[in-house]
Structure 1
Amino acid sequence: MLLQSGSLRCSPPLRGQFPAGGALVRARIKEPEATRRRNALRRVDRVLSKGNYKIALSLVRRLQGKPGGLRGFGAAKQVPRRISSLDELKTIGVDITSLQSLLDSMLNSIERSIEFQLSNENSILDLENLIKGSYESVCEDHVMCVQHEAGHFLVGYLLGVLPKWYKVSNVEAARKGNYPAGKVEFLGFEFLREVDGANILRRNFSSGKLCNRTNKGKISTNALNRFLCVLLGGLAAEHLSFGYSEGLHSDVEKLNRVLKWLGFTESEADCRVKWAAVNTLSILVRHEEARCKLAEAMALGRSVGTCIDIIEDTLNDNEI
């Protein structure tokens, strides 16, 4: 058995959530639309498998907001940019202050990862490689890995960033002692190649110097915000599923490198990250059921198109 629903640590669905009576009739009426959507997503899968990512994105955009199409892609309601704390959400009629401890824990994980990056010659990714196989409960680590990647996938999709492909190790490999690892690759973050090519020295991070203010124009504000939220989607999913996150995070290292490459000061970067953390948590809290079902599908190795279809099915009776 790959994953037990209990092991996903998701809350059970509320009573009365599923349609009955006349609602079932409406569900049958919608069935042809769901069939059209699945057929269209099979075509998206075929295009993705050939590496024609821009064509795949074009196909997905044609399906946005249409009958039998995709109502979730790029449709997530986002926290206003001026908001950087859960308390401030009350001013716009949203109260998720019960998540304050999770937000604090998430921000502490980010700070810890950045501090390690500044004080150690090895990258966080190097550290992750060194500690592979050291955990006592590999199966639990596997579940955390799947939830992490599902968080990336779901936040990206709802913000309009198309996943190109993903991978998560299967539970059999984890049981044989292989450290569970995963990745979701998105279309639209190609600027990362330029960031990596710049080979920014770590002493620039610690000194707080600006790397290059002229780089700011290379990424739009909206694109940067989506990137930050997608990167934090994995960390946020871990905290929502387990209440904590183990270890350090290469996602945070990547986030920090990009912000420094763009020339943000420490204060500016801090504001951006806090907003992204609040925004990401608010999205994942609203779509807990979608995240759980998506994680199950990813653990089974379902195609990107099938994963998207599962998200859309779950969103049908939920507010995006």
Structure 2
Amino acid sequence: MNSPLHSAIVLSSHLRHEFSGTRTLVSAKLDDQDPARRRRALKKVDRELSKGNYKTALTLVKQLQGKSGGLRGFGAAKQVPWRISSLDQLKLCGIDISSSQALVDLVLNSINRSIEFELSDEVSVLELESLMYDGESYESLCKDHLMCIQHEAGHFLVGYLLGVLPKGYRVSNMETLRQDKFAGGKVDFLGFEFLIEVDTTKILEKNFSRGKLRDGAAKGKISSTTLNKFVCVILGGLAAEHLVFGYSEGLHADVEKLNAVLQWLGFTKSEGDSQVKWAAINTLSILVRHHKARSRLAEAMALGKSVGSCIDVIESTLNDNEI
């Protein structure tokens, strides 16, 4: 049996491998870019975000979007065509990410397992206890901490590249995770305010009979563009876990939120499955292309860097042929 010290050393080696080369960011070769100018502009964005002036912050970001010395990555991600729902179809269109087939399947399986858990009527005491820490090793805590960081970085990166501005984020430290396995983290985005209405509808469904809600009064409506972005962003964390670790802890609040939104919109199971499958392929294709940005962003978030600084890390890592 390995000693705790040996286990910590092994994990430390894993962490160094994951974050290798992140001490010095490799700037993209951009003749028309001025990193110092971009950073000054992003400091202004940070100031507006800290004041809660989210719309002003978004306006500043949009003014920098695609500009010389500005932001090339915001909203610039190449996306999988909506009608594409399989990797074989992608290949026919000249896009080959067939190596990601197993990842797509794993992500979809994780979503299904989480939904099944959410819908289960009973969870035994033994099952719940198995999910909690009981003398958890330092190695396990480090791994869960790293998974939390990568998860939130996945949300942040996918959202940013799809043109959804992060307002702020939180990553739980190891002490918090030691006390509560489900503490996790969070990234808040500007543009998903409809979630307030979704939560309100869930409360109504708990307080009133289903019959009183059948008139469609609680059915929501958002644009297809907003929905597509939301589903990809919500899957960004889970997809990042699979990319880095090869598996996901599951039982994500993200999946519960995703399921609630699809129900709020009145999607049938078939419609929901199609939406989620496309989003899984699209999200993974983005994260696979931008694996360096994800890794370096994760380190910045682990250090508690500001939103503007995290954006600068992404922009500094992007290459023209990767966006």
Q: Is the 8 A contact 1:142 1:171 kept in 2?
A: yes
1:156 to 156, 159, 181: 159
Map residues 271-282 of structure 1 onto 2, 5 A cutoff.
271-282=274-285
The equivalent residue for 1:60 is 61
Measure how far apart 1:210 and its partner are: 7.7
Alpha carbons of structure 1 residues 167 and 5: separation in structure 2 relative to 1, 3 Å: farther
Query: Number of matched residues?
Result: 298
Measured against aligned partners, the alpha-carbon deviations of 1:5-39 in whole angstroms (never above 9, x if no partner) come to: 842764978xxxx79xxx9xx66x556x1111000
Measure how far apart 1:98 and its partner are: 1.2
Does 2:10 match 1:7? no
Whole-angstrom CA distance in 2 between matches of 1:41 and 1:128: 44
Map residues 104-115 of structure 1 onto 2, 5 A cutoff.
104-115=105-116
The equivalent residue for 2:210 is none
Measure how far apart 1:215 and its partner are: 3.6
Does 2:299 match 1:289? no
The equivalent residue for 2:309 is 306
Map residues 42-53 of structure 1 onto 2, 5 A cutoff.
42-53=43-54
Q: Is the 8 A contact 2:19 2:299 kept in 1?
A: no
Unaligned runs of 5+ in 2: 1-7, 207-212
SS of 1:184's equivalent in the other structure is strand
Measure how far apart 1:171 and its partner are: 3.9
Measure how far apart 1:128 and its partner are: 8.9
The equivalent residue for 1:256 is 259
Measure how far apart 1:222 and its partner are: 0.3
Normalised by the length of structure 2, the TM-score is 0.83
Q: Is the 8 A contact 1:210 1:264 kept in 2?
A: no
Alpha carbons of structure 1 residues 145 and 107: separation in structure 2 relative to 1, 3 Å: same
Whole-angstrom CA distance in 1 between matches of 2:51 and 2:227: 28
Letter in 2 for 1:59: L
SS of 1:83's equivalent in the other structure is coil
Map residues 113-262 of structure 1 onto 2, 5 A cutoff.
113-120=114-121, 131-134=131-134, 136=137, 137-171=140-174, 173-174=176-177, 177-179=179-181, 181-199=184-202, 201=205, 212=216, 215=219, 218-262=221-265
SS of 1:233's equivalent in the other structure is helix
Letter in 2 for 1:112: R
Unaligned runs of 5+ in 1: 203-208
* Percentage identity across paired residues of the two chains: 64
Superposed CA RMSD:
3.1
Normalised by the length of structure 1, the TM-score is 0.84
Higher mean alpha-carbon deviation, 278-287 vs 240-249, is at 240-249
The equivalent residue for 2:209 is none
Whole-angstrom CA distance in 2 between matches of 1:8 and 1:129: 32
Measured against aligned partners, the alpha-carbon deviations of 1:43-91 in whole angstroms (never above 9, x if no partner) come to: 0001000111111001100000101100000000000011112222101
The equivalent residue for 1:205 is none
Alpha carbons of structure 1 residues 11 and 171: separation in structure 2 relative to 1, 3 Å: closer
